[in-house]
């Protein structure tokens, strides 16, 4: 029996609201398939399942808020039958009722309908509002409260058309301000502020940060980039941010003690290099979804994925792996005009690399003063895991990587196996 | 296509990237990126949107000439196919 649990989507998440199931009992689930949409304090997230099986029962109904780790659904492994699922569920319930102090998950499981597959499915559907995925996505984009939309589809399902109509109606009545929607937006912002506050307070409380900075000459990298971009169609042009990200990913392969997590009093080095890219949201707040396996992608792929990631971060359609798999954070505040940034590590990660604006400066090279574009790279790292000496070597490696931009275009050889989370 | 039409297209592309922008409030003769919070990815998407709508190729070397909305509009009108 496979327990599909609500994953943690970052240090600042301890519960989530199930918005929608994308599977039903009887469905076969493939590895990496998106099976549910869960609302966190920061965003609605497409939650992937990393095990294969057949859905036996959905234990949590849409609109239910549950803690991280709650079993959301049971999946049958090959050879198991629905009867096995029923038995398993009974055992689960029995285990929870035995506990003197019910765990946080107990009431949730107990609240789930009777332990047979059929009624479970029915009652899960009864409490559920049917909303087509496109309608939900559009409503999210528009920040529209779906409660005020009347569904016209089969069984009262809310369709894309319903959403568009509701928006038009709202716009027509715009003279009377829609307080409910404004409140919702304000709630969301307050929630996000709280989530960031919790994660950053934890970081500053628990992580002994040390900080280093290094100005890096960018003339070679930018000249190479300009030359590359002349040859590329507009849609495939590269931004300097992509070179910086790739250089970080490459340098991390040599300094793996900056890439991973500090959990239960020990450092766990990550196998993959998944830099989380800090993306600011227009309504305030930020998310740092992971650019998965950045060390193994060429610049064109990284550019495409970065563009896609930024877009999806802002429209609220990130995948759970992107929020839970970042092994380090990279923040690029250069666009806002600052020269350097010293970040706060996002726990349980152990390092953060910051880049400021690429700026023309007087630079001495071979006894001559020249004007050169310079970017200040900074490292905030966890002193429990690494020391300033290694951190300094990492920044030196980063500088070297950026002096050979053509090498960044290559995909590094690797014999590591791709390990899904 | 007139400058006015091109400006309307530019504003609609901008609105798709930065929905909070109020076209009325925007000062067309002042630097665009000082008025609208556009990072380098947003800026590239803005230019890409214009490229898709107007079929004008905008080489990277020309970015420096595109400071205000007026600059952008004049540049596009001159290069319209």
Of the pLDDT bands very low, low, confident and very high (cuts 50, 70, 90), residue A393 is very high
Whether A294 is in a domain gets the answer yes
A169 and A303 in a single domain? The answer is: no
CA distance A400 to chain B (A): 24
The tens digit of pLDDT for each residue in B20-32 reads 888 888 899 999 9
What's the CATH number where A88 sits?
A: 2.40.50.100
Structure confidence at residue B20 (pLDDT): 82
CA distance A235 to chain B (A): 7
Q: Which of A235, A241, A282 sits opposite B18 (nearest CB)?
A: A282
Structure confidence at residue A167 (pLDDT): 73
List of long-range contacts for A199-203, beta carbons under 8 Å, 24+ apart: A199/A10, A199/A11, A199/A12, A199/A346, A199/A347, A200/A344, A202/A11, A202/A347, A203/A11, A203/A344, A203/A345, A203/A346, A203/A347
A228 and A368 in a single domain? The answer is: yes
Structure confidence at residue A96 (pLDDT): 66
Report the C-alpha gap between A371 and A309 in whole angstroms: 35
Structure confidence at residue A388 (pLDDT): 97
More confidently predicted of A116 and A44: A44
Boundary residue ending a domain (A94, A126, A158): A126
Highest CATH level, class, for B3-79: mainly alpha
pLDDT at A348 over 60: yes
Is A226–B61 a contact, with Cβ atoms under 8 angstroms apart?
yes
More confidently predicted of A392 and A66: A392
Count how many domains chain A has: 3
Structure confidence at residue B38 (pLDDT): 87
According to DSSP, residue A238 is labeled P
Structure confidence at residue A418 (pLDDT): 45
A293 and A396 in a single domain? The answer is: yes
Of the pLDDT bands very low, low, confident and very high (cuts 50, 70, 90), residue A209 is very high
Report the C-alpha gap between A3 and A49 in whole angstroms: 10
The tens digit of pLDDT for each residue in B51-74 reads 999 999 999 899 999 999 999 999
Structure confidence at residue A420 (pLDDT): 47
Chain B residues touching residue A240 (CB < 8 angstroms): 40
Chain B residues touching residue A336 (CB < 8 angstroms): 39
Structure confidence at residue A44 (pLDDT): 81
- Residue A57 pairs in a beta bridge with A74
Interface probe, candidates A225, A234, A375, chain B, greatest B C-beta count within 10 A:
A234
Is A241–B20 a contact, with Cβ atoms under 8 angstroms apart?
no
- Of the ranges A225-234, A279-288, A395-404, the best mean pLDDT one: A395-404
A26-40, A183-197, A342-356 — which is least confidently predicted? A183-197
What's the CATH number where A194 sits?
A: 4.10.320.10
Whether A415 is in a domain gets the answer no
Number of residues that make up chain B:
81
A92 and A223 in a single domain? The answer is: no
pLDDT at A349 over 60: yes
Nearest residue of chain A to residue B39 (CA atoms): A335
| Spatial contact of A308 and A289, defined as CB atoms under 8 Å apart | no
- Structural domain boundaries, residue A163: 130-206
A188 and A336 in a single domain? The answer is: no
A365 and A230 in a single domain? The answer is: yes
The tens digit of pLDDT for each residue in A51-103 reads 899 998 898 988 888 888 889 999 998 888 888 888 888 887 777 666 544 44
- Here the tokens at position A257 are 């003690």
More confidently predicted of A8 and A340: A340
Whether A419 is in a domain gets the answer no
Whether A420 is in a domain gets the answer no
How many CB pairs lie under 8 A apart between chains A and B?
34
What is the arithmetic mean of pLDDT over A392-403?
97
Whether A413 is in a domain gets the answer no
Note the Cα A351 to chain centre separation in Å.
Answer: 17
pLDDT at A128 over 90: no
A213 and A192 in a single domain? The answer is: no
Q: What is the percent of chain A with per-residue pLDDT over 90, rounded to a whole number? A: 47
Whether A296 is in a domain gets the answer yes
A227 and A291 in a single domain? The answer is: yes
Whether A421 is in a domain gets the answer no
Structure confidence at residue A99 (pLDDT): 56
Q: What is the percent of chain A with per-residue pLDDT over 70, rounded to a whole number? A: 85
| Spatial contact of A47 and A320, defined as CB atoms under 8 Å apart | yes
A182-186, A392-396, A398-402, A416-420 — which is least confidently predicted? A416-420
How many CB atoms sit inside 10 A of residue A156's CB?
12
Chain B residues touching residue A239 (CB < 8 angstroms): 40-41, 44
Structure confidence at residue A78 (pLDDT): 85
Boundary residue ending a domain (A70, A91, A126): A126
What's the CATH number where A374 sits?
A: 3.30.559.10
CA distance A116 to chain B (A): 48
The tens digit of pLDDT for each residue in A243-271 reads 999 999 999 999 999 999 999 999 999 99
Boundary residue ending a domain (A100, A126, A152): A126
Category of A275 on φ-ψ map: left (φ > 0), alpha (ψ -120 to 50) or beta: beta
A266's CB contacts (< 8 A; 6+ apart) are none
pLDDT at A42 over 90: no
Structure confidence at residue A166 (pLDDT): 77
The tens digit of pLDDT for each residue in A160-172 reads 778 777 777 766 6
Is B39–A230 a contact, with Cβ atoms under 8 angstroms apart?
no
- Here the tokens at position A57 are 């029962």
What is the arithmetic mean of pLDDT over A207-236?
95
Structure confidence at residue A289 (pLDDT): 93
Phi, psi angles (nearest 5°) of residue A59: -95, -15
SS (H, E, C) A311-332: HHHHHCCEEHHHHHCCCEEEEE
A139 and A279 in a single domain? The answer is: no
């Amino acid at each position: 029996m496979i327990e599909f649990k609500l994953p943690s989507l970052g240090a600042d998440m301890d519960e989530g609201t199930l918005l929608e199931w994308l599977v039903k009992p009887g469905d076969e689930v493939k590895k990496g398939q998106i099976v549910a949409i869960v609302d966190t304090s920061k965003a609605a997230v497409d939650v992937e399942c990393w095990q294969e099986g057949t859905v036996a029962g959905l234990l949590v109904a849409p609109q239910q808020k549950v803690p991280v780790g709650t079993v959301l659904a049971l999946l049958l492994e090959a050879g198991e039958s629905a009867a096995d699922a029923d038995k398993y569920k009974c055992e689960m319930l029995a285990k929870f009722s035995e506990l003197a102090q019910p765990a946080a998950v107990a009431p949730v499981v107990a609240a789930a309908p009777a332990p047979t597959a059929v009624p479970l499915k029915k009652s899960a559907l009864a409490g559920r509002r049917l909303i087509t995925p496109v309608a939900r996505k559009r409503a999210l984009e528009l920040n529209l409260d779906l409660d005020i939309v009347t569904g016209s589809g089969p069984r009262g399902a809310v369709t894309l058309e319903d959403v568009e109509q509701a928006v038009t109606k709202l716009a027509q009545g715009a003279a009377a301000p829609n307080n409910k929607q404004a409140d919702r937006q304000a709630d969301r912002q307050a929630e996000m502020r709280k989530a960031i506050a919790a994660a950053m307070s934890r970081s500053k409380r628990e992580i002994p940060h040390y900080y280093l900075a290094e100005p890096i000459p960018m003339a070679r990298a930018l000249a190479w980039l300009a030359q590359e971009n002349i040859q590329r169609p507009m849609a495939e042009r590269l931004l300097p941010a992509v070179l910086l990200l790739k250089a970080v990913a490459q340098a991390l392969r040599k300094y793996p003690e900056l890439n991973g997590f500090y959990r239960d009093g020990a450092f766990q080095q990550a196998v993959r290099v998944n830099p989380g890219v800090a993306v600011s949201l227009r309504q305030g707040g930020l998310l740092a979804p992971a650019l998965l396996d950045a060390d193994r992608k060429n610049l064109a792929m990284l550019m495409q994925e970065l563009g896609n990631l930024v877009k999806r971060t802002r429209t609220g359609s990130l995948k759970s792996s992107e929020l839970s798999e970042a092994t380090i954070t990279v923040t690029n505040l250069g666009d806002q005009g600052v020269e350097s940034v010293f970040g706060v590590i996002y726990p349980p990660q152990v390092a953060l690399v910051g880049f400021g604006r690429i700026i023309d400066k007087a630079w001495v090279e071979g006894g001559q003063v020249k004007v050169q574009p310079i970017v200040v790279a900074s490292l905030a790292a966890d002193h429990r895991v690494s020391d300033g000496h290694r951190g300094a070597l990492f920044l030196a490696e980063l500088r070297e990587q950026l002096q050979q931009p053509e090498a960044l275009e290559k995909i590094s050889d690797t014999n590591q196996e791709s390990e899904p989370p | 296509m007139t400058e006015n039409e091109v400006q309307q297209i530019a504003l609609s592309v901008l609105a798709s990237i930065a929905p909070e922008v109020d076209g009325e409030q925007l000062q067309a003769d002042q630097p665009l990126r000082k008025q609208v919070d556009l990072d380098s990815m947003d800026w590239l998407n803005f230019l890409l949107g214009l490229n898709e709508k107007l079929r004008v190729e905008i080489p990277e070397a020309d970015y420096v000439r595109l400071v205000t909305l007026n600059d952008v509009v004049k540049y596009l009108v001159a290069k319209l196919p």
